[in-house]
Structure 1
Amino acid sequence: MKRKQWQAWGTGEQAEQQYLVEPRALAGGGNLRHVFEFLRASGWRDKSKSRGPLLMESPNRTISVSYDPHVLPGGWTIHGKASGHQEEWWVNLGRQTPVEIVAGLTDALTRPRSAHAPDVWAPLQEQRWRTASNAEHVTAVSPDGSAWMQFHQDPDGLAMWWSGVKDQPGNGWTASFSATTPMHLVQGFSAALASPKPVMRPRGRVPHSGRIRTTSVSVLPSQLSGWQQARIDAARAAAWARNSVRSNRPLTTARTPTRAHR
């Protein structure tokens, strides 16, 4: 285990011990607020009920993000209703999926789609994941062999994506995507999954695993809250910009045809 001291100005604060964990896919679930507070700041509505699952709904009410710890196996469910040319879709992610990886997908729900065609494999190839294929599926495996991303197509032509990590009991997880899940969301997930950046966990919340590497760091509470607030502020700024564009669009109304006088 490495140890690192982070310096910062501050008076009257006691530094707290945190750990940078890598690979991030094995870091455990993390703080749910990382996902839900970003959605709230992006204009999503909190539809959670007492003693029920946590639930957020998109401004247009077509997409929901929920986390249910009260059922087995529990975890995340992201659901999109049929809308326009988009068919109904869903994503299920296990309880131990790190929130930073969940956010790769849920953050993408708040942004306009890119004009470029999504490429799910590109983020994995950039991080040197190994790829193998056969007649039914293509699988990419992380360099350390702990995580995978797979595209599977059954004999009837139904295609779906599947992902997850292998670790000691209690720290593994899987993610499954419907065949109709928008590809830019799957790409957001794969990019967050393959990212080499470590994620931070407090003392006592680091999974027991021989496959992870940790770096001990001392962090002031004001630093931690500042980083969290910066993420929320970025979501609010983006939401404000989107709403401003909509409100400034010129209104077009159909002209009522008039009968010419003779």
Structure 2
Amino acid sequence: MKKQQWQGWGPGEQPEQHHLVQPRSLAGGGDVRHVSEFLRASGWRDKSKTGGPMLMESPDRTVRVAYDPYVLPGGWTIHGKADGPNGEWSAHLGRQTPVEIVAGLTDALHRPRSAHAPNIWAPLQEQDWHTRVEGDDYTATSPDGTAWMQYRQGADGSAMWWTGARDTQGNGWTADFTPNTPMHLVQAFSTELAGPDPVMRPRGRVPHSTQIRTWSVSVKPSQLRAWQQARIAAARAATWACNSARSTRPRTSARPSTPAGGARTRR
């Protein structure tokens, strides 16, 4: 038996059936490890309890990413503490939000911000999404009409981003971002939301929807592991580069000098 298992993971391993799904916004939730393993490789702490919801905490303890499938409606919560001039913020994403789209936001949590001002609408316009203005609301809709991104402004002047995807059978998800959510994170999310590339789901995990297109592909377990490891390696490399840049950054102020042979006075 052991010999057969070993051969199954070696050169003679058997391919498994998967499906490429398009549009990605209707592909279903997917494997949450796509998000959690990337964060772990980026130095985040796993605060999850055994058998409970997933909970990841940033190295500086200012941001938490949680996924809870055990409550209704369940799904993702990304919460950021107030930081100087930036207020507390949060994003709530439904359980069926594809992990590839969730990762658009969570991957960007540890990447350096661009010097350019964020533009949430640019990735959508590049993929020919339709835009319209209704009062104080600005909405972009995918060409097939299944996904949307909306900017809402309340009577008190507060702004909120509301987005999601839904097919004609009612299957789908919604997400919202509070007013203080950093705009570069919302743009990273919208980029993945509008991404034209299909995403992969294993057999039996493809939603039953008349508005998706699927292609059957054969994938070996070793190929899946290689793709996962490449993503993890990229996270580790980016984290190492960021930490190295911080450690080599010149000091902006000089340390107080201590006379030779003298002792520092404690207060």
TM-score normalised over the length of structure 1: 0.91
Shift of 1:248: 2.0
Higher relative contact order, structure no. (Cα contacts within 8 Å, ≥ 6 residues apart): 1
Say which is worse superposed, 95-104 or 248-257, in terms of deviation: 248-257
Counterparts of 2:171 and 2:31 in 1: how far apart (Å)? Answer: 15
Counterparts of 2:123 and 2:69 in 1: how far apart (Å)? Answer: 30
- In structure 1, the partner of 2:15 is 15
Q: Which letter does structure 1 place at the counterpart of 2:123?
A: P
Counterparts of 2:235 and 2:168 in 1: how far apart (Å)? Answer: 35
Deviations 1:40-69, CA, capped at 9 Å, x for gaps:
000000001123320000000000000001
- In structure 2, the partner of 1:63 is 63
Counterparts of 1:54 and 1:168 in 2: how far apart (Å)? Answer: 31
Counterparts of 1:142 and 1:195 in 2: how far apart (Å)? Answer: 11
Contact kept in structure 2, 1:30 and 1:99, CA below 8 Å: yes
Call closer, same or farther: CA 1:170–1:59 in 2, change over 3 Å: farther
Say which is worse superposed, 48-57 or 227-236, in terms of deviation: 48-57
Contact kept in structure 2, 1:28 and 1:171, CA below 8 Å: no
Task: Report matched runs for 1:76-95 at 5 Å.
Answer: 76-95=76-95
- In structure 2, the partner of 1:229 is 229
Contact kept in structure 2, 1:73 and 1:94, CA below 8 Å: yes
1:143 match: secondary structure: coil
1:188 match: secondary structure: helix
Contact kept in structure 1, 2:169 and 2:209, CA below 8 Å: no
1:191 match: secondary structure: helix
Task: Report matched runs for 1:132-211 at 5 Å.
Answer: 132-167=132-167, 171-211=171-211
1:46 matched to 2:46:
yes
Among the aligned pairs, what percent are the same residue?
A: 69
Deviations 1:183-214, CA, capped at 9 Å, x for gaps:
00000000000000000000000000000000
What RMSD over aligned residues (CA atoms) do the two structures have, in Å? 1.6
Say which is worse superposed, 216-225 or 115-124, in terms of deviation: 216-225
Counterparts of 1:94 and 1:160 in 2: how far apart (Å)? Answer: 16
- In structure 2, the partner of 1:246 is 246
Q: Which letter does structure 2 place at the counterpart of 1:122?
A: A
Call closer, same or farther: CA 1:170–1:68 in 2, change over 3 Å: farther
- In structure 2, the partner of 1:105 is 105
Contact kept in structure 2, 1:68 and 1:76, CA below 8 Å: yes
1:79 match: secondary structure: strand
Counterparts of 1:200 and 1:53 in 2: how far apart (Å)? Answer: 24
Say which is worse superposed, 205-214 or 168-177, in terms of deviation: 168-177
Shift of 1:17: 0.6
1:229 match: secondary structure: helix
Q: Which letter does structure 1 place at the counterpart of 2:42?
A: S
Counterparts of 1:155 and 1:214 in 2: how far apart (Å)? Answer: 43
**Gaps spanning 5+ residues in structure 2: where?**
1-9, 260-267
